[in-house]
Amino acid sequence: MSSREDTLALWRQQEQEVRARLAPAGVSTLDDLKAGSGMEFLQRIWDGLLPSVPIGETLDFVPVEGEPGRIVFQGTPDKRHYNPLGSVHGGYFCTLLDSAVGCAVHSMLPKGMGYTTLELKVNLVRALTDKSGPVRAEGRVIQVGKQVGIAEGRIVDVDGRLYAHATTTCLVFALP
């Protein structure tokens, strides 16, 4: 088997395993959010102990890897995600990247803290189509302080081709 085929098989296996664990989509409570660190909250979603995220269901993407400061989402774009020009809408790119970079920041937050995106800057490098296959959006923290979190992200396919990259600035705050 080629390296590409190995990577594709691994990506599909990881996605299948994650999908088997996820709970139905819904919105967690503020108490759920405040019960642990940002990473603990995300892990409870990924373990199926809290509802999965509605936007992931809407656009059909899931978290496939995660550790403090680094989060990866995977999705396979198809014609449901197309714009009128015959390629995947830019909103798909932006949503995947916002999820990856925002969750990367969230994964670094201590118990009792939350965040919101202040700015998201996305550069689209090449078009996605229904023939692109699975893609991954990887978010990595650059720095998280008491009030501001900064992260960067990239969307790549199984061959490592870059489709888009992004940076985010997030406001960090105490949860009410």
Q: How confident is the model at residue 1 (pLDDT cuts 50, 70, 90)?
A: low
The confidence score (pLDDT) of residue 101 equals 98
Residues in Cβ contact with 72 at an 8 Å cutoff, skipping those fewer than 6 apart: 63, 64, 65, 66, 100, 136, 137, 138, 139
Quick: pLDDT tens for 35-77. Answer: 999 999 999 999 999 999 999 999 999 999 999 999 999 999 9
pTM of the model: 0.96
Per the prediction, the chain carries an average pLDDT of: 97
Q: How confident is the model at residue 2 (pLDDT cuts 50, 70, 90)?
A: confident
